[in-house]
Chain A
Amino acid sequence: MKATALEEGAGLLARFGRDRLSRAAACFILLVSVIALFAPLIAGSHPHAPVGYGPDDISLPDRLQPPGAKHWLGTDELGRDLLSRVIHGSRVSMTVGSTATLISLFVGTLFGALAGFYRGVVDTLISRLIEIVLCFPFIFLLLAITALYRPSLWTVVLALGLTSWTTEARIIRGEFLRVREMEFAEAARASGAGDLRVIFRHLLPHAVGPVLVFASFGVASAILTESALSFLGFGIPLPTASWGGILSTADDHLTSAWWLPLFPGLLIFLTAAAFNVVGEGFRRALDPTFRE
């Protein structure tokens, strides 16, 4: 426990980097992030863009063109360049995935740790809150939020973030109930460390494994949920390009325009998979039992 946070972080990264698949997945996420960040420069109707079409540039005569020299990934049902749309769609998926997961991770870990550590009244109150949120099917809350406020990317993020933290909280709570009884926890408390220090310094590293695994699933799940919402017609409002949105309009063209369901579906799948693989890598790197 002498190592500084910086050294620990470096060690963690080194251990993470030892796995080739994790590295590849991290690179993929980095790539998607860079594309998302610079999407307007990469794809737009301005002269220097590598992809010379804006995501919203409608051209009806070009609708439903198969992939070719002009449109590398083909066009959608309004003649918009699919490549440009999936490039811009990466922004939606990355924003929804990361923001919603950060919200749920933060809220979930906080509530879960407090409940598991203090137990008693704190646990009772938090558990009641968790149960109340849990009993609210996501779709109800989303409908309420989008009907009461103007539907946007942020209503989707908010609805996702505010409904999914319970899973994290319950897992953390369960883990805390388990690890707080272990010898090292007793020892930490006996040494006179403050509650917060015990929680975050001693217990959290032992309890956080499953929840990090879950958080990595969480990003994927947020991306997947966004596409499912679009399928039901409650996703990111048009004409904003999102992978889920493109996929849902592809429903009409499954047999005749295979590129419409294929590319966004593949991107959702690959991105979600990359997040899962990275989560896996970090879990192993974080796990004290793997440090030898």
Chain B
Amino acid sequence: MTLRVALVVLLTALIAGCNRTETAPQPLTAQTGPLTTPSTGGTLVRRLESDINTLNFILHTTEYENLVLSYLYAPLIDFDVNQKIIPRLAKSWEVSPDGRTYRFLLDEKATFDDGAPVRASDVLFTLGKIVDKNSGAFQLTSSFEGLQLDASKAIDDRTVEIVFAMPRASQLAAFNIAILPESVYGKGDFKKDFNRKVVGNGPYRLTRRDAGKEILLERRNDYWGPRPSIEKIRFKIISDDTVAWNAMKRGEIDEMSISSDRWRNEGATESVRNRMEIHRFHSGYIFVPWNNSDPLLRDAAIRRTLMMCLDRRAIIQNLYFGTARIMTGPFSPDQWTFNADVRPIEFNLEEARKSFAALGWRDSNGDGVLDKGGKSFVIDVLLHTGNKPSMDQAQIFQQALKQVGVTMNLVTLDSATFFDRIQKGEYQSAFLAQGIDVDADLDVSQFHSSQFPPNGNNWAFYSNPRVDKLITEGRAEFDQAKRLVIYRELHEILANDQPYGWTVEYTNKWGLNRRVGNVTVSNTGGLFFWYPGPLDWTLAETASTLPPSP
């Protein structure tokens, strides 16, 4: 996929008036100005929760790899603080009236860190790798479905024309990809030779990598774009949250994500406040996919009734201290496609009892569990290890369901087993989390009936012809107003059908050492994966000499 991760909220205005529009390269204005401030040098120490497996952009799968790569590459297009698409490697672009052809003009100053210029042929090379099913581009291939490589061509060294079989409204956002130099990546074994070394066109280059320990990047002196202020980036791999938190409090790392409880309990203490500033931003949501092909869960009324037993307001109040929101459907309130008329299913055990009874589920044998036709209402919910927020919510759900006579068994599995069971449909319900995507189409495509595993991510095995039709229409529609109508209806239908039980949209609490300056939090995008984002940060020289907290 793109240089952005799951942390992202959708851009508001996707390709404003996009037919035949060329977006003039917007000058980096005063608002993003700090990139022009003199270099302060210094080393920013970032935390990586897990080591990375590859530095090959095409092969990368995890958000940790994405994070490191975001310093090493300037993607073709990028997103600004408001999630609007802005030029980066491409200075400008045009989209043909039929929405099938994209013409990008690359920045003529752009070079890779081996000195070679970035050419149009490199773009074609990279796209070729993305659509080649043998190159293992797990995260990227689906975003370039229908790419016609034979019809695409380099107009000149700096201009490239890319042709698709059908128009797709989310396509431009998908070009948030790194471009690899063909001169380097075209030789040798593509899958084996570029996992430990990297040639990028971004503001930093890799200087050192100690497997399992750290990754060190250094600012490129020959970088062609605005140079960031910080000289070196050190990624320290610390998988344990408690260890990282201690290191954070001592100033050994400069940033980390903090759990709601730590934020609540320690965030206000003087030593923590002296050491760091904690930023908050929405970043994703938790949901319970119901296996719609399961006889017990086939009826939307049953799924809605089940959701009456999850007290989301209490969860938000007590587990997130008010820093989360109820999700009513596939869109978050920050997205332009959000349908505010859709009301959340409220927690009401009395209503749930009545509703189950109306659907024929009664406790006829007096064992405390509802039954119908001799079958008890017992469902399994799968959880994967280490997912603490889900564990808490699942236990709260279980407790409430017990009161209305539904037995929910918690089954904790390791991730590989967990996803294997879900892929095969061998489950009834589960707890999952995902981020808001860069385009509404990507948020709802998982409800299309063509996406049943193993073809796609329709884990709920949900099928509704009207939804299929709307998804297909929304994908091909470039008119903002018409798209809005489509997605509002989708939101309503999905909220009513509850293929997923959406729970809450949570916030990340991100601690940043006070020596890090010039930090901007995007309303919709958070701290990372927009431009300039972290590339804008500065380091105060004095701060490193702060006395350790008592």
Cβ-defined contact, A251 with B413, below 8 A: no
- A178 and B111 CA atoms in complex are apart in Å by 76
**CB-contacts of A40-82 with B (<8 A):** 56-58, 60-61, 63-64, 77-79
Judged by a CB distance under 8 angstroms, whether B399 is at the interface is yes
Q: How far is the CB of B269 from chain A (nearest CB, A)?
A: 9
Given that A234-B385, A237-B412, A252-B259 are contacting pairs, would A60 and B318 also be in contact in the complex, using a CB cutoff of 8 Å? yes
Judged by a CB distance under 8 angstroms, whether B395 is at the interface is yes
Cβ-defined contact, A239 with B410, below 8 A: yes
Q: How far is the CB of B148 from chain A (nearest CB, A)?
A: 43
Q: How far is the CB of B215 from chain A (nearest CB, A)?
A: 26
Given that A60-B319, A233-B386, A251-B242 are contacting pairs, would A256 and B396 also be in contact in the complex, using a CB cutoff of 8 Å? no
Cβ-defined contact, B398 with A253, below 8 A: no
Cβ-defined contact, B396 with A147, below 8 A: no
Residue of A whose beta carbon sits closest to that of B393: A78
B479-491: CB near A (< 8 Å → 1, else 0) gives 0000000000000
Judged by a CB distance under 8 angstroms, whether A143 is at the interface is yes
Judged by a CB distance under 8 angstroms, whether B315 is at the interface is yes
Cβ-defined contact, A60 with B386, below 8 A: no
- A255 and B262 CA atoms in complex are apart in Å by 9
**A63 neighbours in B (Cβ, 8 Å):** 318
**A255 neighbours in B (Cβ, 8 Å):** 265-266
Given that A147-B414, A252-B259, A253-B261 are contacting pairs, would A239 and B319 also be in contact in the complex, using a CB cutoff of 8 Å? no
Residue of B whose beta carbon sits closest to that of A235: B412
A137-152: CB near B (< 8 Å → 1, else 0) gives 0000001001100110
Q: How large is the interface on B (under 10, 10 to 19, 20 to 34, 35 or more residues)?
A: 20 to 34
Residue of B whose beta carbon sits closest to that of A60: B318
Cβ-defined contact, A77 with B413, below 8 A: no
Residue of A whose beta carbon sits closest to that of B386: A233
Judged by a CB distance under 8 angstroms, whether B156 is at the interface is no
Q: How large is the interface on A (under 10, 10 to 19, 20 to 34, 35 or more residues)?
A: 20 to 34
Cβ-defined contact, A252 with B399, below 8 A: no
Residue of B whose beta carbon sits closest to that of A152: B411
Q: How far is the CB of A76 from chain B (nearest CB, A)?
A: 10
Contact residue among B311, B394, B399, B417 (Cβ-Cβ distance under 8 Å from A56): B399
Q: How far is the CB of B392 from chain A (nearest CB, A)?
A: 6
B250-262: CB near A (< 8 Å → 1, else 0) gives 0000000001011
Judged by a CB distance under 8 angstroms, whether B317 is at the interface is yes
How many A-B contacts at CB < 8 Å in the complex? 74
- A160 and B386 CA atoms in complex are apart in Å by 22
A210-252: CB near B (< 8 Å → 1, else 0) gives 0000000000000000000000111001110000000001011
**A254 neighbours in B (Cβ, 8 Å):** 242
Residue of B whose beta carbon sits closest to that of A54: B399
Judged by a CB distance under 8 angstroms, whether B541 is at the interface is no
**A150 neighbours in B (Cβ, 8 Å):** 411
**A56 neighbours in B (Cβ, 8 Å):** 395, 399
Judged by a CB distance under 8 angstroms, whether B132 is at the interface is no
Cβ-defined contact, A239 with B395, below 8 A: yes
Q: How far is the CB of A92 from chain B (nearest CB, A)?
A: 15
Q: How far is the CB of A60 from chain B (nearest CB, A)?
A: 4
- A238 and B412 CA atoms in complex are apart in Å by 8
B379-397: CB near A (< 8 Å → 1, else 0) gives 0000101101001101110
Q: How far is the CB of A238 from chain B (nearest CB, A)?
A: 5
Residue of B whose beta carbon sits closest to that of A234: B385
- A175 and B411 CA atoms in complex are apart in Å by 43
Cβ-defined contact, B410 with A237, below 8 A: yes
Cβ-defined contact, A252 with B261, below 8 A: yes
B303-342: CB near A (< 8 Å → 1, else 0) gives 0000000010011011100000000000000000000000
**A252 neighbours in B (Cβ, 8 Å):** 241-242, 259, 261-262, 388
Given that A234-B385, A251-B242, A252-B261 are contacting pairs, would A151 and B413 also be in contact in the complex, using a CB cutoff of 8 Å? yes
**B315 neighbours in A (Cβ, 8 Å):** 60
**B396 neighbours in A (Cβ, 8 Å):** 58, 60, 78
**A151 neighbours in B (Cβ, 8 Å):** 411-413
**B265 neighbours in A (Cβ, 8 Å):** 64, 253, 255-257
Given that A77-B261, A147-B413, A238-B412 are contacting pairs, would A61 and B391 also be in contact in the complex, using a CB cutoff of 8 Å? no
**A239 neighbours in B (Cβ, 8 Å):** 395, 398-399, 410
22 residue pairs of the A-B complex, CB under 8 angstroms, read A56-B399, A58-B395, A58-B399, A63-B318, A64-B265, A78-B395, A79-B318, A146-B413, A146-B414, A147-B413, A147-B414, A147-B416, A237-B411, A237-B412, A238-B391, A239-B395, A239-B410, A249-B388, A251-B241, A252-B241, A255-B266, A256-B261
> Using a CB–CB distance below 8 Å, which chain A residues touch chain B?
56-58, 60-61, 63-64, 77-79, 143, 146-147, 150-151, 232-234, 237-239, 249, 251-257
> Using a CB–CB distance below 8 Å, which chain B residues touch chain A?
241-242, 259, 261-262, 265-266, 311, 314-315, 317-319, 383, 385-386, 388, 391-392, 394-396, 398-399, 410-414, 416-417
Closest 9 CB pairs of A and B: A233-B385, A256-B265, A60-B318, A147-B417, A58-B399, A239-B395, A233-B386, A60-B314, A237-B412
Can you add 8 more A-B contacts, CB < 8 Å, to A77-B261, A78-B396?
A56-B395, A147-B417, A151-B411, A237-B410, A237-B411, A238-B383, A239-B398, A253-B265
